[in-house]
Amino acid sequence: MEEIYSGLLRALELIAARDPQVVEITFRSFFISLSSAFLAGIICIPLGGIIELHQFWGKRALINLIQTFYSLPTVTVGLLVFLLISRSGPLGDLNLLFSPAGMIFGQAVLVSPIMIGLTITALAGVSSPIRDTARSLGATDMQIIITVIKEARVAVMAAVLLGFGRALSEVGVAMMIGGNIRGYTRVLTTAIALETSMGNLELSMALGIILISISLAINLLLNRFQGR
Amino acid sequence: MALLEISSLGKSIGKAEILQGINLKAERGEILGLIGPTGSGKTTLLRLVNLLDEPSSGSILFDGREVSGRPERELLAARRRMAMVFQKPVMFKASVEENVSYGLRMRGRVDAMGGRERIKEALAAVGLSGYESRDANTLSGGETQRIALARALILQPDLLLLDEPTANLDPGSAASIDSLLRNLAGSRTAVILATHNMQQCRKLARRVAVLQEGRLVAMGKSEEITLPW
Ligand SMILES: Nc1ncnc2c1ncn2[C@@H]1O[C@H](COP(=O)(O)OP(=O)(O)OP(=O)(O)O)[C@@H](O)[C@H]1O
Ligand SMILES: [Mg+2]
């Protein structure tokens, strides 16, 4: 107990002193996960729009499948992306393995189901009179989708934020695709895993506190969004 | 040739026949009254004409072309020559200005046509000058209805479909909208005005079509029509 307490104090000291390693890892985590949320957003939001606004055979099943993928274990996504981008994989030529770009790609894949699913839910909340009004005023199908996304912007932003949160807090993809290379692909979660296993509890706890704080901040932001 | 020519138009939803055997023409420059009790099918008919829903039978000729059952591309082209004011208009989550210019923007015409000026004119026409930057979702019911009318008028449609456009208005604003609509008579626009209000029909429409339980039961000069209910 004593040990945890003094470790916690020293962890806080590390944060307060803006320990270079802590700062660097935090920023990298932010950068990679924000990028992956952004990348996933620009693909998944329009895709969610297209799925939501069209009627087609198997739509219900597709949405169910997407929702099943919400809780896909991150290591399985890691494995899938690994197979895709490893030397012999179809995207092997891009040299994405063990690079931040590969992590961004992998995390984007990981959060895509959530983002598509939550976008669909968000857009379903836009009333049909709004769609009829857009159509009646001469909007094309694509313009209607854009209008509906704009109408649901708060909920769509929440979907992106949730995706960011999931990317930031996952370990599987970051470890398997990034490889936890110091100063290059080491992020909060992989650093915590490593430092804990090496007995560097103070550094682990410092990083853990930061991770929890960010998650908390995201949740507060989400609540503020949804409270409106 | 009439701008709009509807023949034996029908609409069923499930087993219910909402509209049956509707024949109707509307000419440019005329205001055609569409009167009928609640639930008689006025809104359903206007939605079919605006190509928002598909009819179950019959045909819709718009400017000499069959438009019912055509691919979306052709529907869009026809729809872009019409405008409709819904019975319960809704506003996009945006300013009044963005709402009013929406149709122009969708057509990619907002700058080319002196957008700002036209928005100003449209707002003035419905008596809401200076409302440009208001949040459209904070408007009162009557204001919403008038903005919806401005949003339609700005498009200078060939066919204007109005579903109870003055239902939420006090007598004063209703009268000013009526006189605005009267100015459309004799223009290149054909107007179909759905209403319960026979007085409004007599004031504005030369011809009136009477709808009852999904069928047209009478059609004639507004002075000569007596309502069957
Ligand atoms: N989607 C629908 N499903 C089932 N019934 C419908 C649907 N839409 C309309 N109806 C029915 O069709 C009939 C005609 O409705 P419509 O809204 O066209 O009437 P209306 O003449 O516009 O009435 P009001 O004057 O009250 O606006 C009504 O009985 C209505 O309940
Ligand atoms: Mg109606």
Spatial separation of the C-alpha atoms in residues B189 and B31, rounded to whole Å: 9
What pLDDT score was predicted for residue B221? 85
Instruction: Tell me if B52 and A138 make a contact (CB, 8 A cut-off).
Output: no
Which architecture does CATH list for A28-186?
Orthogonal Bundle (1.10)
Nearest to B68 by CA among B107, B124, B10: B10
Spatial separation of the C-alpha atoms in residues A193 and A208, rounded to whole Å: 10
Is the C-beta atom of B197 inside 6 A of ligand 1? no
Spatial separation of the C-alpha atoms in residues B147 and B120, rounded to whole Å: 12
Largest distance between two CA atoms of chain B: 50
What is chain B's mean pLDDT, rounded? 92
Domain boundaries of chain B, sorted by first residue = 1-81+158-166+190-229
Q: How many C-beta atoms surround the C-beta of residue A69 within 10 A?
A: 15
pLDDT in tens, A7-20: 889 889 989 999 99
Angle value at C-alpha B197, between B192 and B200, nearest 5 degrees: 65
User: What token pair was written down for A188?
Assistant: 């909060």
Q: Which ligand sits closest to the CA of B197?
A: 1
User: What token pair was written down for A96?
Assistant: 């994405």
The model's pTM is: 0.89
Nearest chain A residue to B153 by CA distance is A137
Residue A228: pLDDT band (50, 70, 90) is: low
Angle value at C-alpha B99, between B94 and B101, nearest 5 degrees: 130
Q: What is the mean pLDDT of residues B129-153?
A: 94
The SS3 of residue A152 is: coil
- Residue A157 sits at the chain B interface (C-beta within 8 Å): no
CA dihedral B33, B36, B39, B43 (to 10 degrees): -10
Is the Cβ–Cβ distance between A49 and A149 less than 8 Å?
Answer: yes
Supply the ipTM of this predicted assembly.
0.94
CA distance A140 to chain B (A): 7
pLDDT in tens, B149-173: 999 999 999 999 999 998 878 888 8
Nearest chain B residue to A130 by CA distance is B90
Please enumerate in sequence order all residues whose Cβ is within 8 A of that of A1, keeping only pairs 6 or more positions apart, or say none. Answer: none
Domain boundaries of chain A, sorted by first residue = 28-186
pLDDT in tens, A127-173: 999 999 999 999 999 999 999 999 999 999 999 999 999 999 999 99
User: What token pair was written down for B107?
Assistant: 């057509």
Nearest to B124 by CA among B114, B135, B116: B116
What pLDDT score was predicted for residue A141? 94
Is the C-beta atom of B42 inside 6 A of ligand 1? yes
Angle between helix axes A201-227 and A20-53 (nearest 10 degrees) is: 40
**B224: exposed, middle or buried (C-beta count within 10 Å: 0-12, 13-18, 19+)?**
exposed
Atom of ligand 1 nearest to the CA of B211: 21
What pLDDT score was predicted for residue B228? 65
Q: What is the CATH number of domain B1-81+158-166+190-229?
A: 3.40.50.300
Nearest chain B residue to A135 by CA distance is B52
Q: What is the mean pLDDT of residues A52-70?
A: 94
Closest C-alpha to ligand 1, atom 16: B41
Measured between beta carbons, which residues in chain A are less than 8 angstroms from residue B52?
132, 135-136
Please enumerate in sequence order all residues whose Cβ is within 8 A of that of B178, keeping only pairs 6 or more positions apart, or say none. Answer: B166, B200, B203, B204
Instruction: Tell me if B79 and A130 make a contact (CB, 8 A cut-off).
Output: no
Spatial separation of the C-alpha atoms in residues B152 and B193, rounded to whole Å: 14
Mutate to test the pocket of ligand 1, among B11, B12, B17, B18 (most ligand atoms within 8 A of CB): B18
Spatial separation of the C-alpha atoms in residues B162 and B182, rounded to whole Å: 13
How many whole angstroms from B48 Cα to the centroid of ligand 2? 13
Spatial separation of the C-alpha atoms in residues B173 and A209, rounded to whole Å: 62
B interface test, pick of A136, A142, A151, A156 with most B CB neighbours within 10 Å = A136
Instruction: Tell me if A137 and B155 make a contact (CB, 8 A cut-off).
Output: yes
Residue B4: pLDDT band (50, 70, 90) is: very high
pLDDT in tens, B207-221: 999 999 999 998 988
Q: Name the least confident of A125-139, B93-107, B188-202.
A: B188-202
User: What token pair was written down for B161?
Assistant: 């479909």
Nearest to B36 by CA among B24, B28, B50, B27: B24
Largest distance between two CA atoms of chain A: 70
Angle value at C-alpha B108, between B103 and B114, nearest 5 degrees: 85
What pLDDT score was predicted for residue B229? 64
How many whole angstroms from B204 Cα to the centroid of ligand 1? 24
How many whole angstroms from B44 Cα to the centroid of ligand 1? 6
What pLDDT score was predicted for residue B222? 79
